Amino acid sequence: MPYGASTRNAGFACFGSISELLDDLTRESEQEAFSRVEKRYRGLLKLRQKLGDINIQYEGLGGFEVFTPSDSLLFQECTNALNFFNDSLYKITGEVNTYSVVDDKISSMGFAGINHMISNRLEGQIDTGKMMYSLIERVKAAGVVILNGITIESFVNSDNGVVLRESSDFNFEAKKLLVCNNGFAKQLLPNAEVTPARAQVMVTSPIPELKLKGCFHYEKVITTLEM
Ligand SMILES: Cc1cc2nc3c(=O)[nH]c(=O)nc-3n(C[C@H](O)[C@H](O)[C@H](O)COP(=O)(O)OP(=O)(O)OC[C@H]3O[C@@H](n4cnc5c(N)ncnc54)[C@H](O)[C@@H]3O)c2cc1C
């Protein structure tokens, strides 16, 4: 298995909670924010289509944004914007009423201290280990060779393409190079506008009779209560 974020993330198959998108809109245009939502949404559909829901253990249980009594102002902002976001999402997904207030579901999920909840019915979750396993099987079947455990330190253009320099002085040659090393982009491409951000996943042992089903967001970011 590769050792990047793709095998160690929380498996949220999500494309935007309302407060997260409202926050994005304070810093960027509608066009920028919704084109990213569209990329996330279409990317997810593509992943499901290529690998299959069973193979990646996709479960469309929905995404839920939770609000405590001290978040009443934020909740008000989100409900005021509900129709705007449903209309904007319709243009991307062709689905109506993506977001809705689902306060009636709070008690069945076993929450304490939460008085409002907004759902995104098109969100879901995957098992990232199974997703990576299926992806590897698929690319292997297409004849791709995967070499894990190798750190590329630099690359230079050559007459035939590119020479990749590995840490132990072992060189690879390739006709084309695609750099997709995520938060480490600047190590190979110093001019890349990429700043790594830290994220954490907390894992518990199985909790008997856990009532939480789905992905949960709190306060603008994908802060999770998923288990
Ligand atoms: C803790 C955490 C939780 C997250 N939760 C979610 C979530 O719930 N839902 C969601 O959609 N997203 C989540 N994300 C984000 C998501 O995981 C990443 O956006 C995604 O996995 C990035 O995929 P990638 O292929 O670009 O990078 P990666 O999967 O990180 O792959 C990059 C690869 O490049 C390799 N590499 C790096 N430098 C070099 C080098 N010099 N030479 C050779 N190889 C190199 C790494 O070893 C790695 O294998 C989370 C991220 C983190 C860290």
| Cα 119 to averaged position of ligand 1 atoms, centre (Å) | 27
Q: What integer pLDDT is reported at residue 227 of this predicted model? A: 37
What would the two tokens of residue 213 be?
A: 């089903």
Residues making up the chain, counted from first to last: 227
Per-residue pLDDT band for 226 (boundaries 50, 70, 90) equals very low
List the domain boundaries for the chain. 5-131+197-218, 150-196
Distance CA 121, CA 13 (A): 12
What would the two tokens of residue 161 be?
A: 């393409």
Q: What integer pLDDT is reported at residue 28 of this predicted model? A: 95
Distance CA 219, CA 221 (A): 6
Pocket test for ligand 1, best of 184, 221, 222, 225 (most atoms within 8 A of CB): 184
Under a CB-based contact definition with an 8 Å cutoff, are residues 185 and 179 in contact?
A: yes
Give the residue, by CA position, lying nearest to ligand 1 atom 28.
4
The pocket around ligand 1, CB under 6 angstroms, is made up of 2-6, 8-12, 150-152, 180-182, 184, 187-188, 199-201
Does 210 have pLDDT greater than 70?
yes
Under a CB-based contact definition with an 8 Å cutoff, are residues 47 and 132 in contact?
A: no
Per-residue pLDDT band for 42 (boundaries 50, 70, 90) equals very high
Does 220 have pLDDT greater than 90?
no
Q: How many CA atoms, within 13 angstroms, populate the side-chain half-sphere of residue 118?
A: 30
Does 221 have pLDDT greater than 90?
no
Give the residue, by CA position, lying nearest to ligand 1 atom 4.
9
Q: List, for residues 157-200, the tens digit of each pLDDT value.
A: 999 999 999 987 788 899 999 999 999 999 999 999 999 988 88
Q: Which atom of ligand 1 is nearest to the CA of 200?
A: 1
How many other C-beta atoms can be found within 10 angstroms of the C-beta atom of residue 105?
15
Percent of the chain scoring above 70 in pLDDT: 97
Distance CA 170, CA 204 (A): 41
